[in-house]
Amino acid sequence: MSEVVKSLQERRMRVWEQAKALADSAADENRTFSGEEEGTWQSLNAELDALDKRIKAVIDGEQRAKDAEDAMLKLRGEPRGNAPGGPQAPGTDELRKFLRGEGGRTFDVRPTAPVSFRDLSKLTAGAGGNTVPTDFYGQLVAHLIETSAILQAGATVLNTASGETLQVPKTTAHSSAAIVTEAAAISESDPAFGQISLGAFKYGTVIQVSRELLTDAGVDLEGYLSMQAGRALGNAFGAHCITGTGSGQPRGIVTDASAGATGPTGVTGGFGAQATAGQGADLLITLFHSVISPYRMSQSCRWIMNDTTAGTIRKIKTSEGQYIWQPSVVAGTPDTILGKPVLTDPNVASIGLSAESVIFGDISQYFVRMAGGIRFERSDEFAFNADLVTFRALMRADAALVDLTGAVKTYTGGAS
Average model confidence (pLDDT) across the chain: 80
pLDDT tens, position by position, 135-175: 666 676 777 777 888 988 889 888 887 788 888 777 666 56
Three-state SS for 129-164 is: HHHCCCCHHHHHHHHHHHCCHHHHHCCEEEEECCCC
Indicate the domain borders of the chain.
Answer: 1-88, 102-416
Cα angle: 113, vertex 76, 110; to 5 degrees:
20
Q: Which of 162, 119, 168, 109 is CA-nearest to residue 140?
A: 109
Distance separating alpha carbons of residues 137 and 398, to the nearest angstrom: 19
Q: Flag the least confident range among 20-24, 48-52, 122-126, 149-153.
A: 122-126
Most confident of 22-26, 89-93, 274-278, 302-306: 302-306
Q: CATH fold of 102-416, please?
A: phage-related protein like fold (3.90.1690)
Residue 394 has pLDDT above 60, yes or no: yes
Q: What is the pLDDT of residue 44?
A: 85
Most confident of 20-29, 65-74, 96-105, 282-291: 282-291
Q: Flag the least confident range among 22-31, 100-109, 242-251.
A: 100-109
Contact between residue 239 and residue 347 where contact means Cβ atoms under 8 Å apart: yes
Q: What is the pLDDT of residue 89?
A: 45
Cβ atoms within 10 Å, residue 142:
25
What's the CA dihedral at 153, 347, 170, 116 to 10 degrees?
A: -30
* pTM as predicted: 0.68
